[in-house]
Amino acid sequence: MKKYNSVKTMVQVLKEVGPMTEREIQMTCFGYDRNRTWKSNKKYADMLRRGLSKGIIARIKTYTGNQSRFMYYVPK
C-alpha cells in the first residue's frame, strides 16, 4: 500500500520535533531535499501553504545576522 503525503504528516512532525524551516520539514516528513534533486518542490510547498491558510500551521520570521528565515510551528 502506498503512503500518501499530507498536511497531517507535517503537523504531526511539527508537534513531535518543534519549529522547523520549510527545508527541514520536507526532509523530516518526506525525505525530500530540494537542494539535491531536479524535481520541483511545488507539491510540498502547496501542502505547507494549505496548512497555513487553514490555521493548523503557523510561521514566524527569525533573523540570524542579516539573513532572515521562516520557522514553521503548530499553534496551540
- Structure confidence by residue, pLDDT tens digits, 25-55: 989 988 888 777 777 778 888 999 999 999 9
Average pLDDT score, the chain: 89
**pLDDT for 19:** 95
* pTM for this prediction: 0.83
Question: Would the pLDDT of 1 be above 70?
Answer: no
Q: Which of 53, 48, 55 is nearest to 29 (CA)?
A: 48
- Label residue 65 by pLDDT band (50, 70, 90): confident
Q: Which domains does the chain have, with CATH numbers?
A: 7-73 (1.10.10.10)
| Average pLDDT over every residue of 9-36 | 90
Alpha helices in the chain (DSSP H): 7-17, 22-30, 42-54
Question: How many CB atoms within 10 Å of residue 16?
Answer: 9
